Amino acid sequence: MFPNSKPSRLPCLMPIGRRFIAFFAVLVPMAVFGCGDGASSFPNLIGDVVIEGRVRDSSGFGIPGVIVAASGVREAGVTDPAGRYQLAVPGGWSGTIRPQKQDFVFSPTEKLMDAAGQDGVDFVATMRSTPTTYNGHQVDLCGDPNSSESAATSELIIEAPPVVRISNGGSSAQVRLDGSGSRLPDGSRIEWRNGGVPIAFDLTATVDLPVGRHDVELVSIQPNGTERSRSVIINVITEGPQTIYVDADHPSANDGNTGTADTPLATIQAGVDKARAGDVVVVRSGTYYRNHPSVNRPVVLMENRHGTAEQPITITADTGAMPRVTGMRPGAERGNTGWRIVDSSWIVINGFRFENLNGVGLDIEASSPGATHHIDVLECSAERCSQGPNTFVGALRAVGPVRNVSFKNCMISNSSSGIVLREAPVQTRETAAVPPKAGNNAPGAPGGRYSSDLAESAWADWCGWDQIAPKHCVIENCLSFNNRQVPEHSDGFGTRYATHCIIKDNIAFGNADDNFDLLGGTHLTVTGNIAFNGNPENTEAGDGNGIKVGVRGGLDCLVAFNISFDNRRMGLDMGDTERGRVFHNTIVNNGAGHPNGFGMWFEGGRSSAGHQVMFNILQGNGLNTSRGDYGAARHVSFAASDYNSMSDSHSHNFAGPSGSHDRVGDNVEFVAGDAAVSPVFVEGMSIAQRINLVRQQVRNKFMLAPGSPLRGSATVVGGVNDGVTRPGGNWGAVQE
């Protein structure tokens, strides 16, 4: 928080020439603007009228990073650390002023004003909170827009352009949506939805989408009403307000140019410096490196840059182009960071390749909760990133309390680690456990420190360590493989303390540590992922788990429809998480010969309610060890553990609980269970083609054989697997 004194009376509002002042505040000190001796620290803005103001919380503290927009005006204002902003509007303007920031609501939501000297308005910002129920318990989803459990995976494949450009003056585009590669149960019907509203009803359709950002879903509706979905972000953008071209290889390229197609800029940095809300920066093929000798200078820096929901700032590869952002500056040492985004919002990054960097390829940061939000990273790839001595950084990363950052259809290989969502500053078990323990003192702890363990009765109202970690972020349909730079930390996908995030339909294999390492998560949705061949070189430092959700704890995570096989250690390590919901996972041949080689393992024991574990297939795990398919420490509670298929006899050490409908000693037959999954990626294959190749091989391998008693026999147990299991569906991850 930022200290401020409270005045004894409301500030005055006074027109000054062609300027007027509007205070968005509870109470504003007289010295801030116009009425006292203080002066604004903002530079003068070009415009006929400048609106100045402030946004505060109910205690009078300034709220930084609030976007304050005037209707019909392209440039928005952004509050500084004290909550102050300036906003330029044309002379004679009238309309609404509206503040917006992720996780906050404002009262009133907007104010009708004009440039003729309207009275000011006070805006009060409060944190958003959305109570709901979860398995009979009231919980606080903390404004989670991704709380629907219908997001559990299906065999749905979407081909659609992430960015569609139309000419200036256009208001919409015809966009082709192709789901023809999907596999659907008999009797299913299809809907394409935009913002939850149906827009088409065939697997292949052409729809009219207006200018803006669209989260389009392909929804499969089963005969019993159960829904499965996959989404894609489509940005329809105009060639105006301006399209800025960057082409390092053009003979006339120069950062002093206007940035037209014929007189392009030479660097991406020059392009983003010119871009404002609604602009499109089109980058052509070429190699882009930093124009500074310091290795600490990123190739591209975007700080305090803001688009809007209707007019994002879009930086995209040109059609058919693959611009490369590299740390290899000619005649200089290898650089640390490719692209850095700080305290910015509504930005689209599409189609770039990051390579040969000591550190992060793309780094997205927030200095305060929500200061960075709505960043879409689409169809980007990274190779040979995080190669330096500080290697636990990720090739693509969102760090700190960012909000609504999405990585979709991206690919990482041969780096230290793949895509990472992590906290800042770095925490330990002593400073931040999940749920909190006595002595935890990370930012967000009440009074600066938890005096005792947070009681389970209070877990439902706890929003996670969201003052320091990513929230409402998505990693979907991405591929991360062969990352082995530092075996102890070379994960395919990693999250640390993330809350209300979705990790969905991703593939990780051949990584030296864990394929998925999801540490200390709160309300994570982990569905439809594939993990195999973890720690293939059997290094001593690498763990080799397929999917690990524990360590530092974890709370109320849904882990469903994942496939984990042939990993060096565990297939699914739930570790010290609490109240996990683990349904329909296929876990095969993990941990052979490893001293901790379980198929699935639980050790969190603080909850009296316990875990829910159903319809998982566990086969051939922990061979040649005292472990096996399903293990749990003896102090762990289970609310439900039944309808699981296990190949072992439950006579091994640390056996998991046995339900009356479990199939113990089961020998599950798969259609091609002995088939090898060894994808060969041909040069020129797109990211989507590579992902679909692996997914199809894995799906074919673990399809249940005809006549299997596990086919078509799944059922819903009220209050347990509602909204996840389809009645009449299969056990395990692969559905018909």
- Asked whether the domain spanning 150-234 has the same topology as the one spanning 20-127, the reply is yes
pLDDT of 168: 66
Domain spans in the chain, listed from the N-terminal domain onward: 20-127, 150-234, 569-669+704-736
pLDDT of 681: 93
Average pLDDT over residues 219-237: 82
Left if phi > 0, otherwise alpha if psi is -120 to 50, otherwise beta: which for 389? Answer: alpha
pLDDT of 389: 62
Higher local confidence (pLDDT), 134 or 702: 702
Average pLDDT over residues 318-329: 93
Q: Report the range out of 67-71, 239-243, 469-473 with the highest average pLDDT.
A: 469-473
Average pLDDT over residues 159-166: 85
| Gap between the Cα atoms of 290 and 517, Å rounded | 32
Mean pLDDT taken over the chain: 84
pLDDT over threshold 60, residue 3 = no
pLDDT, one tens digit per residue, over 62-101 is: 676 778 888 877 677 777 656 778 777 887 888 888 887 7
pLDDT, one tens digit per residue, over 201-223 is: 999 999 999 887 888 999 988 78
pLDDT over threshold 80, residue 22 = no
Q: Is 228 helix (H, G, I), strand (E, B) or coil?
A: strand
By the 8 A CB rule, do 577 and 550 touch?
Answer: yes
Q: How far is CA 194 from the centre of its chain?
A: 19
HEC string of 152-190? CCCCCCCECCCEEEECCCCCEEEEEEECCCCCCCCCCEE
**Beta-bridge partners for 663:** 645
Average pLDDT over residues 103-119: 70
Confidence band of 138 (pLDDT split at 50, 70, 90): very low
Average pLDDT over residues 261-279: 94
What spatial distance separates the first Cα and last Cα of the chain, rounded to whole Å? Answer: 53
**What DSSP designation does 102 have?**
T
pLDDT over threshold 70, residue 43 = no
pLDDT of 151: 36
Higher local confidence (pLDDT), 255 or 153: 255
pLDDT over threshold 60, residue 53 = yes
pLDDT of 679: 87
Average pLDDT over residues 52-57: 78
DSSP codes of every residue in 622-650: STTSS--SEEE-TT--EEEEES-EESS-S
Higher local confidence (pLDDT), 309 or 240: 309
Min mean pLDDT across 99-103, 142-146, 214-218, 327-331 is at 142-146
pLDDT of 546: 97
pLDDT over threshold 60, residue 6 = no
| Gap between the Cα atoms of 124 and 24, Å rounded | 8
CATH superfamily, with its number, for domain 150-234: Immunoglobulins (2.60.40.10)
Average pLDDT over residues 732-736: 92
pLDDT over threshold 60, residue 21 = no
Q: Report the range out of 148-152, 239-243, 505-509 with the highest average pLDDT.
A: 505-509
pLDDT of 239: 60
pLDDT of 100: 79
pLDDT of 661: 94
Average pLDDT over residues 94-111: 79
Average pLDDT over residues 18-41: 31
pTM for the model? 0.78
Confidence band of 407 (pLDDT split at 50, 70, 90): very high
pLDDT of 242: 85
| Gap between the Cα atoms of 70 and 118, Å rounded | 14
pLDDT of 60: 61
pLDDT of 625: 79
pLDDT of 650: 56
pLDDT over threshold 60, residue 364 = yes
Min mean pLDDT across 93-102, 126-135, 156-165 is at 126-135
Min mean pLDDT across 29-38, 205-214, 375-384 is at 29-38
Confidence band of 121 (pLDDT split at 50, 70, 90): low
For 732, counting Cβ atoms within 10 Å of its Cβ (0-12 exposed, 13-18 middle, 19+ buried), the class is: buried
pLDDT of 153: 41
By the 8 A CB rule, do 371 and 65 touch?
Answer: yes
pLDDT over threshold 50, residue 538 = yes
Higher local confidence (pLDDT), 530 or 217: 530
Q: Report the range out of 124-128, 179-183, 414-418, 585-589 with the highest average pLDDT.
A: 585-589
Higher local confidence (pLDDT), 450 or 223: 450
What does the buried/exposed string (b/e) look like for 194-229 if buried means 16 or more CB atoms within 10 Å of the residue's CB?
beeeebbeebebebebebebbbbbbbbbbeeebbbb
pLDDT over threshold 80, residue 18 = no
pLDDT over threshold 90, residue 464 = yes
pLDDT of 34: 29
Min mean pLDDT across 287-296, 364-373, 432-441 is at 287-296
pLDDT, one tens digit per residue, over 392-405 is: 678 999 999 999 99
Min mean pLDDT across 183-187, 443-447, 602-606, 627-631 is at 183-187
pLDDT, one tens digit per residue, over 705-732 is: 999 999 999 999 998 998 899 999 999 9
pLDDT over threshold 80, residue 545 = yes
Q: HSE on the CB side for 464, CA within 13 Å? A: 33
- The fold for domain 20-127 equals Immunoglobulin-like (2.60.40)
pLDDT of 135: 37
Higher local confidence (pLDDT), 214 or 702: 702
Q: Could you give phi then psi for residue 138, rounded to 5 degrees?
A: -75, 130
Confidence band of 391 (pLDDT split at 50, 70, 90): low
Average pLDDT over residues 241-269: 94
pLDDT of 320: 92
Higher local confidence (pLDDT), 149 or 591: 591
**Beta-bridge partners for 216:** 194, 232
pLDDT of 399: 97
| Gap between the Cα atoms of 51 and 33, Å rounded | 11
pLDDT over threshold 50, residue 185 = yes
